[in-house]
Amino acid sequence: MSYAIPAPVVPSLPIIGSDQRFPVRRIFCIGRNYAEHAREMGATVDKDTPLFFCKPADAVVTDGADVPYPQATADLHHEVEMVVALSAGGRDIPADQALARVWGYGVGLDLTRRDLQAVAKAKSHPWDVAKAFDHSAPVSALRPASEARLDGDTALTLIINGEQRQHGRLGDMVHGVAEIIAILSTLFELKAGDLIFTGTPAGVSALKRGDQFHAELAGVATLEGRVA
């Protein structure tokens, strides 16, 4: 097949302990999946109607690259999250079969132009410009699921300039990984290469140019970088 213009590069993530890379197809995100974060944002959790949104695959930032401070905002916020990478997908996946679709795990930042999000919320507009902008999804190298030891006490932490900003446990999630995959598959056909950001604990706040960040999913993955 020939294309009229050069084909776009497929975004990808490094894999811990391997020279291979994980190709990224789509990025799905769940909002308000930690009750304390929902409260700090003045929202409530509706367990029966999870809130989902998407980011473009080429929003990933990885391999230690700087994160450019985005245009059109004066209030860039960090949201540290566990990231799930899928090796297979489908529609209407039963929750008890969902984890078999997981290839691996990492840690990432759901960067948010909070001022633009506030305007969108006030007008009942979509959040795309607040969430789906360029370089809005820094993600660590992935650890294969077979090597990841996760439970409800696994810690999710973000340190900015040496100071802890966010800290939570995976057991604090309103919807667990299997449930998120099952619900998403009723809305989209999931496929290999999809990433899922699984929500953020309380403590979100602003990032400034020059800030150094260290995100960690304990015992699984770390992400370090700088806001340029």
pLDDT band for 1, please (50, 70, 90 cuts): confident
| The pLDDT value given to residue 40 | 83
In 3-state terms the chain splits into helix, strand, coil percentages (rounded to 5) of: 20, 35, 45
Distance CA 21, CA 167 (A): 29
Q: Is 0.95 surpassed by the pTM of this model?
A: yes
The number of residues making up the chain comes to 228
Instruction: Catalogue the E-assigned strands of the chain.
Output: 12-14, 21-23, 27-31, 51-55, 60-61, 76-77, 80-86, 102-109, 112-113, 137-138, 143-144, 155-160, 163-169, 195-197, 212-217, 221-226
> What is the pLDDT, as a whole number, of residue 196?
99
- Residue 104 has a pLDDT of 98
* Answer CATH for 23-226 from 3.90.79.10, 3.90.850.10, 3.40.50.720, 3.30.1330.200: 3.90.850.10
Q: Write out pLDDT tens, residues 19-57.
A: 999 999 999 999 999 988 878 888 778 888 999 999 999
pLDDT in tens, 135-145: 999 999 999 99
Say what the pLDDT of residue 209 is: 98
What pLDDT does residue 45 have? Answer: 80
Using the structure block, give the residue that is written with the tokens 């919320």.
Answer: 121
Do 35 and 172 form a contact (C-beta atoms < 8 A)?
A: yes
Condensed to tens digits (0 to 9), the pLDDT of residues 184-224 reads 999 999 999 999 999 999 999 999 999 999 999 999 999 99
Given the structure tokens 């979100």, which residue do they identify?
Answer: 204
pLDDT of residue 61: 98
How many Å apart are CA 45 and CA 114, to the nearest integer?
19
Q: What's the confidence (pLDDT) of residue 228? A: 96
Query: What ranges do the domains of the chain cover?
Result: 23-226
Whether 158 and 37 have beta carbons less than 8 Å apart is answered as no
Burial class (CB in 10 A: 0-12, 13-18, 19+), 192: middle
Supply the pLDDT for residue 41. Answer: 82
The residues, any chain, with a CB within 8 Å of residue 32's CB and separated by 6 or more, are 38, 41, 43, 44, 45, 46, 50, 51, 174, 199
Structure tokens at 20: 């291979």
Alpha carbon distance 185, 180 (integer Å): 8
- How confident is the model over 56-107, as pLDDT tens digits? 999 999 999 999 999 999 999 999 999 999 999 999 999 999 999 999 999 9
Q: Please give the pLDDT value at position 43.
A: 78
Give the residue-averaged pLDDT of 131-155: 98
